[in-house]
Chains A and B, each alone.
Chain A
Amino acid sequence: MSSTMVDPAQRSGKFAAFHIDLPLLLGLLALLAFGLVILYSATGQSETMMKAQVIRLGIALAVMVGVAQLSPQTIRRWAVALFSVGLLMLVAVLLFGYVGKGAQRWLDLGFMKFQPSEIMKLAVPMAVAWFIASHNLPPRVWHLFIGFLMCAIPTLLIAKQPDLGTSLLIAMSGVFVLFMAGMSWRLISFIAVLVSAFAPVMWYFLMHDYQRQRVLTFLNPETDPLGSGYHIIQSKIAIGSGGVDGKGWLQGTQSQLEFLPERHTDFIFSVLSEEFGLIGVILLLAIYLFIIGRGLIIASKAQDNFSKLVAASFTLTFFVYVFVNIGMVSGLLPVVGVPLPLVSYGGTSMVTLMAAFGVLMSVSTHKRMLANV
């Protein structure tokens, strides 16, 4: 018994020298591998797209390993700076941003187009954690207030682009910090009531027509089967027709015959469900659950509050991505355009996510050295 315990411990020790958390790495690699298998089918066996995705994966893994080399202290020191730069860039986007797909999300840096909201996915929880962790836990009410403010400003700036989905996810990543920091349940209930009261205001004054349409379609997709309800209906048909054991890899008629929209990006989960069935779904959820569990364990074992809060927030935000994406393609949530993390085709968000996992690895692997020092 003890000998079996030693082996992985030793091996993880070796990985720890490179600041790699082995269980998290294995979980991520399993997810990425499974993701590539699904993507091959979802892209219609496009080799060029597979190549592009593999290159992105390489870059993202390199970014993860690179970030893991930084100590949590370093990361903490950079948090405020990153947050400030991100905030400035968001303002810049609104003033001089590049308009694509009807929204102003990109900043043209000359050599590349760049979405500042990606920085804020990392910077907001880091900055809020930095602020909250610089005081005792649980945080006081006015600390929380400032924490909320730090979430609210970038959220509103991003919502203005407009990118409601990302802005809400970023707000949530900040709120997770506050929750994990021990915000009282009374305050949580109070805010919950406040948010529900705010919902009609949002509906009438802040949401765009297309966003309202998405919500309406979500509530009753069959009213508009050929319009905006088409996506969700086709997705549910794909999932439902997959059954328990699926139609087989590359055999999904909904996805291969292109009835399924956005099949290699937002709706890739439907491809998985159709071709691998409930068994494939359970396997994917198990991998996600393992990664999330490992993330929370890393957070709880972290040695300082900043590390704990950042690690927990990143993990929970990752979960929210998973839940929102699966929820939307299976008809539980409105269609908001969130990709399935680390599986959907696409670059920027993958790099951001892997950077966050780099932070988790840093938190996981730097503590012993810190203890030794």
Chain B
Amino acid sequence: MLKKRVAMQDIAAETRLFNSRAVVAMLVVCGLFSVILLNMYNLQVRSHQDYQIRSEGNRIKVLPLAPNRGLISDRNGILLAENRPVFSLELVPEQIDDIETTLRRLAQLIAISAEQQQDFLQQVRQQRRFNSIALKERLDEQEVAVISVNLHRFPGVTVEARLSRHYPFGDLFTHALGYIGKINTDDLRRLDEQGRLANYAASREIGKLGLERYYEEQLHGTMGFQEVEVNNRGRVIRVLRSVPARSGKNIRLSLDVGLQLTAQQTLNQSRGAIVAMDPRDGAVLAFYSNPSYDPNLFVHGISSSNYNALLHSPDRPLINRATQGIYPPASTIKPHLALLGLETDTVQPDTKVWDPGYFTLPNSDHRFRDWKRGGHGWVDVYSAVAESCDIYFYDLGIKLGIDRISDYMRQFGFGERTGIDIHEEASANMPSRGWKRARFNQPWYPGDTVPLSIGQSFWTATPVQLALSTAVIVNKGMMPTPHMAAELSSADSSELVDPGLRPAVNVIDEKNWEVVADTMVRTVATLKGTAHPAFKKALYSSAGKTGTAQVVAIAQDAKYNADALAEQHRDNAMYIGYAPADNPTVVFAIAVENTGGGGSVGAPIGRQLLDYYFSAGVNSNE
């Protein structure tokens, strides 16, 4: 068998055959290695750049760093909005052997609700094990102390501090400062539209109201970032590059804590608002709306019961009465109308009008009454303003006509937003023929002009508008822009806020300004002046104008609770004023709802305000 096979074997031919196959095999091996090499060349040389970029993209992540929000202080540097550390109890799951036991032991030290534990365990399941997860937020001081002392017993447990907004004066500055709150989807959309969304990658809160909202861009600051190397699970391996965040600008306001407190105290339990400003530059010195509320409630998310209480309170604390309170200006606009009368030569300073106590339109027997039964007798422009004679202004209004009144009063800023540096501002209403046609589809009747001439019926104004119109009188036609922010400053620079003055009301005869100012001085100074009783024995000179609106609280504001209307049928007290009488440094407007007359309620508040203003020297350094 073996012999036969060997005999038939052609060893040479078999070797040739095998060797040729070996050569083929080697060629195939070389060929396939070439394919590998060609592929490697493609990957490592030709596409190297692409893969290099993708490799970097894999490993490098950018972590945003939130900037510290700018601080807000009053004119003297007293902090009104600050950042305080709040402490939270956090756990890193991967550093803890037995989470259940750790939770149980922590719960023996401080109160941890079942809900907090559930939320925490939920987070543990969802997050990476090396991420720190909050178990309890906003620890109080005692809790921080208890945990800190026992920290060595709890590996993987930390007390983390982060900064949180705090308003130390509580409700005193709420309507000026506003507050910050958690960023919501509307905020995100707005930021996106403004192209500022990227700067908020690390931010949790945003200005929601007031100055916090208006100056959001400046207060927020610029986000920093850390470029870190991460592994495939996102754990940070090392920091490659770090760009620190730039804090937001600090804002010094022109508001004065003392004057603000005085405003709050004088308004006491009444609904109303006080605005005081420097007429020379529009710097707001006091800005208070009563009642107010604590803005700190909103910072960490207000509870629904607290929010509902604010929302449904009949006193409507959420309304910013200083800029959104729409009040009939009543007699406070008589000086303005007097100027128009003088300017148009409708009356002269010495023109006398007989006031029998009522006024009738031609071809009508409807009697428009004066507030003083029996009338003031003969009045000129001085006594008409100082004693607040209605008949004089009914007569003047009819002679001027709605068109001239409407156009001219608009120049004083009525019917327009003042442009104060918060967004919550109403334009109120300066009526005109066109407005009435559009609003009621009715023509303007002379009967509409009569009450309009004493600042009633359709004419409404906000306290800030009234203060601004007073500044225009004081400035002889020049109008400032009211602003509460005085100075924005960062670590290396600061800028003063000065929107400047602009000509608003032009007069033909400059002397008319003095006449108008004189009428307001006489309101305070003369014995029969409506504000005279309030300013008896004042150590300073001032001027003013009272107003008493005989209407329900905030006209045309249908949001008012109907149940509460009955008790709100009393007059609104209005008062505008300035001081010192010559060279004024402060103008102000006061509106108090449903408490009484401008002379009996409004002017005394003005007195207290100015008493403080001069005794404390609020504005004297300017």
Contacts and interface: CB of A to CB of B under 8 A. Distances in A.
A180 interface: yes
B48 A243 contact: yes
Given A239-B43, A308-B18, A330 B58 contact: no
Q: Give the size range of A's interface with the partner.
A: 35 or more
Contacts of A278: 40-41, 44-45
B58 A300 contact: no
A289 B33 CA distance: 8
A340 B580 CA distance: 95
Nearest to A176: B25
B30 to A, nearest CB: 7
A316 B25 contact: yes
A135 interface: yes
Contact of B25 (A273, A285, A312, A332): A312
Contacts, number: 135
B36 A182 contact: no
A282 interface: yes
A326 B44 CA distance: 14
Contacts of A237: 51, 54-55, 58
Interface string B1-43: 0000100111000110111011001100110110111011101
A323 interface: yes
A281 interface: yes
B230 interface: yes
Given A278-B44, A293-B26, A241 B51 contact: yes
Given A289-B30, A296-B25, A240 B37 contact: no
B58 A239 contact: no
A165 B43 CA distance: 25
B89 to A, nearest CB: 31
A237 B41 CA distance: 14
Given A136-B8, A137-B18, A182-B18, A241 B36 contact: no
B29 A243 contact: no
B18 A332 contact: no
A243 B52 contact: yes
Nearest to B60: A253
A238 B55 contact: yes
B408 to A, nearest CB: 70
B149 to A, nearest CB: 39
A239 B25 contact: no
Contacts of A299: 18, 22
A239 B21 contact: no
Contact of A323 (B36, B56, B229, B230): B36
B43 A135 contact: no
Residue of A257, A299, A312, A319 with highest tally of chain B CB at under 10 A:
A257
Interface in A288-318: 288-289, 292-293, 296, 299-300, 305, 308, 312, 316
Contacts of A327: 36
B59 interface: yes
A257 B449 CA distance: 81
Contacts of A236: 43, 51
A299 B44 CA distance: 35
Nearest to B42: A240
Contacts of A332: 35-36, 39
A367 to B, nearest CB: 13
Interface residues of B, number: 42
A318 B454 CA distance: 107
A134 B231 CA distance: 58
Nearest to A297: B22
A40 interface: no
B539 interface: no
B22 A296 contact: yes
A251 B50 CA distance: 19
A244 interface: yes
A148 interface: no
Contacts of A72: none
Contact of A240 (B32, B52, B56): B52
A138 interface: yes
Contact of B44 (A181, A281, A296): A281
Contacts of B35: 332
A239 B54 contact: no
A180 B14 CA distance: 10
Contacts of A104: none
A136 B9 contact: yes
A180 B22 contact: yes
Contacts of A330: 36, 39-40, 43
B237 interface: yes
A254 B58 contact: yes
A330 B47 CA distance: 13
A242 interface: yes
Contacts of A253: 55-56, 58-59, 229
B621 interface: no
Contacts of A241: 48, 51-52, 54-55
B233 interface: yes
A322 to B, nearest CB: 9
Given A176-B25, A257-B237, A300-B15, 17 more contacts: A134-B5, A137-B18, A180-B25, A234-B58, A238-B55, A239-B44, A240-B43, A241-B52, A241-B55, A243-B44, A258-B232, A258-B233, A259-B59, A293-B26, A296-B22, A299-B18, A305-B14
Q: List the 8 closest A-B pairs by CB distance, nearest first.
A: A240-B51, A241-B55, A257-B231, A240-B43, A241-B51, A182-B17, A258-B232, A137-B14
Interface of A: 134-138, 176, 179-182, 234, 236-244, 253-254, 257-259, 273, 277-278, 281-282, 285, 288-289, 292-293, 296, 299-300, 305, 308, 312, 316, 319, 323, 326-327, 330-332
Interface of B: 5, 8-10, 14-15, 17-19, 21-22, 25-26, 29-30, 32-33, 35-37, 39-41, 43-45, 47-48, 50-52, 54-56, 58-59, 229-233, 237
16 contacts: A134-B5, A239-B44, A240-B43, A240-B47, A240-B55, A244-B44, A253-B55, A254-B55, A257-B229, A257-B231, A257-B237, A258-B233, A259-B231, A288-B33, A300-B15, A305-B18
